[in-house]
Chains A and B, each alone.
Chain A
């Protein structure tokens, strides 16, 4: 799966489920948690979304604000462990 496809799926999920605004123009480098757009608890949902959508398990210890604050960071993390 290409990185762009991962980002698109992430953005759709985040805007609809976490920001409650499917039309929100979410940018790849936009800080999601530090800006207050979503709280750090939403990372659990991101983690489960990654498991179900991409079959990638991100350990709890990697679901941090530092490592998963932007769409770019999330997508890169998922891509890293994507099954071949």
Chain B
């Protein structure tokens, strides 16, 4: 069930009606049942994996909770001691499950190459293991639950239904946001009230999400030349820049659109999910970007990888200027982020480049002259604009391996330098340039007021015009996909 389909809209409406009619306790059961139906609609086999993950983490979490309760003599400010081994076992098994499904493709390719060398035919389809949808997200949340339980962030023993809902909640099960256990779980026990404001904000989020996904992301994605990622050398430098920017804008609006829709849908149930994006392209550094792009993942990596690793290393050498203390946590965190995103070496390269650049920014911050603070300068100050421009160039370049395989990444970088004199074909730019307009408009307006929902603060007459235009352009964008290439026989 795609979240932009009419089937999904109908499904949500039905569940909503029942939800509003039911009393508090039954609402959780309804949500869980709806989540099960939603997940099974993708593939019933995936539901088995999710169920096993829920059951496993429930029992580990329960045991951890009991062990924490036994530490009665300790003071509140001490590091938790009991349950550490069990915690690490729980984390390891969760990660092993994810690795099994995710990285099998990583090793499968090498294994298949070995088989070929030994004279065996291709067995890829027989060996392939499909990653259950959403697994990358709910495993991280499961780990969050175990760690937060161990650190006493979840003070009460969690009922099974709460944990099941935390991991399987249908608006966020596919692609997040990755909710922190300690902050999401209390929401399930709070009394839910859905008033005018909540409904308005939720519907606004859904509309913004639909515009991002249908009008911007889908239209742009369909226009990128089919051979762009496999043969970058065939494109002029200008085309490489244009189509890479098009891809990034498409990717951003696709994911931001998805997040906006699911936050809106969840808001209709009175459960507010965390934001994932905050106008990331107005960042002035890669470090700042990761505080505004896929924020829930960044928070997770920060809380469960970066901070613990940094603290671990600082305990051996307390100096914040000690280079390994700066480089290792950044590099490890971002390489893990790369591996989480995809199961091939280009993601490792992407993560490594991000990590190196973040470390470099950190080194610059640590060694900067005393008193220097860019944030004190007005936005139009030359230093800030230069910093922003520099950031855009850097992110443009180091993000390449996210989509291009390693060989083509180097071809892209090389072609960027060598292909300036290839004549660019500008014909295919028209529709993307039109789609850039709403993309820029939405982010510029939101950033200007630092308010994602600025549109509903405007006068009702202006809101109504905007709403009408939204509906119209969504309908038109759904019909903007031109005909597939038609083979003209004999002519």
What residues make up the interface of A, taking CB atoms closer than 8 Å to B?
Answer: 17-21, 24, 35-45, 47-49, 51-52, 55-61, 63, 80-84
Contact = CB atoms under 8 A, between A and B. Distances in A.
Interface of B: 75-79, 148, 151-153, 180, 182, 287, 291, 302-304, 306-308, 310-311, 314-315, 318-320, 362, 365-371, 373-376
Contact of A41 (B180, B310, B376): B310
A28 to B, nearest CB: 19
A59 B373 CA distance: 29
Given A39-B362, A57-B77, A17 B320 contact: yes
Contacts of A24: 370-371
A38 B79 CA distance: 26
A48 B79 contact: no
A18 B318 CA distance: 12
A60 B303 CA distance: 6
20 contacts: A17-B320, A35-B375, A36-B374, A39-B287, A40-B302, A42-B320, A44-B306, A47-B307, A47-B311, A48-B318, A57-B78, A58-B77, A59-B152, A60-B303, A61-B153, A63-B307, A80-B77, A81-B77, A82-B77, A83-B77
B69 to A, nearest CB: 17
Contact of B303 (A45, A48, A55, A61): A61
A49 B320 CA distance: 11
A60 B365 CA distance: 22
Given A20-B370, A51-B79, A60-B151, 18 more contacts: A18-B320, A20-B368, A38-B365, A39-B365, A41-B310, A43-B307, A44-B310, A44-B314, A45-B320, A48-B315, A57-B77, A57-B79, A60-B304, A60-B307, A61-B303, A63-B307, A80-B76, A81-B77
A60 B76 contact: no
A41 B210 CA distance: 35
B293 to A, nearest CB: 15
Contacts of B153: 59, 61
Contacts of B75: 81, 83-84
Nearest to B314: A48
A48 B325 CA distance: 13
A3 B50 CA distance: 48
Interface residues of A: mostly helix, strand, loop or mixed?
Answer: loop
Nearest to A61: B153
Top-10 shortest CB links A-B: A36-B375, A81-B77, A21-B370, A44-B310, A56-B77, A48-B314, A57-B79, A60-B307, A59-B151, A81-B76
Contacts of A81: 75-77
A33 B306 CA distance: 17
A35 B373 contact: yes
B153 to A, nearest CB: 5
A58 B366 CA distance: 23
B318 A52 contact: yes
B158 to A, nearest CB: 16
A83 B73 CA distance: 12
Contacts of B78: 57
Contacts of B291: 40
B311 A60 contact: yes
A52 to B, nearest CB: 7
A77 B399 CA distance: 39
Contacts of A43: 307
B400 to A, nearest CB: 26
Given A48-B314, A57-B78, A57-B79, A19 B370 contact: yes
B179 to A, nearest CB: 13
Contacts of A63: 307
Contacts of A84: 75
Contacts of B375: 35-36
Contacts of A49: 318
Contacts of B310: 41, 44-45
Nearest to B374: A36
Contacts of A56: 77
